């Protein structure tokens, strides 16, 4: 698994993830949490090129506020 970053906040029904310095996930990438449960998928990449943010659209049943501070991974 590749770490895509930590959820920094929730906005407009999306989990906003701060990507690590060196690389980030592409749009359409499936995202899982540390227990390998599917969280959703990346729908947008935005912000500074050297350390962008990822917008993750959650799957049905995912409790977004509970994800703040969680580390997410690309499947």
Distances (CA, A) of 8 to 19, 58, 59: 10, 15, 18
pLDDT in tens, 12-29: 999 999 998 777 899 999
Q: Which residue has the higher pLDDT, 72 or 23?
A: 72
Cβ 72 vs Cβ 56: under 8 Å: yes
Q: Are 20 and 14 in contact (CB under 8 A)?
A: no
CA quadruple 46, 74, 7, 49: dihedral sign: negative
pTM of the entire structure?
Answer: 0.91
For the cut 80, the answer to whether the pLDDT of residue 59 exceeds it is yes
């Amino acid at each position: 698994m590749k770490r895509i970053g930590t959820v920094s906040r929730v906005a407009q029904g999306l989990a906003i993830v701060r990507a690590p310095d060196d690389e980030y996930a592409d749009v359409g990438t499936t995202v899982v949490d540390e227990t390998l449960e599917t969280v959703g998928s990346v729908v947008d990449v935005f912000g500074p090129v050297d350390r962008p943010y990822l917008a993750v659209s959650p799957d049905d049943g995912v409790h977004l506020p509970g994800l703040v501070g969680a580390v997410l991974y690309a499947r």
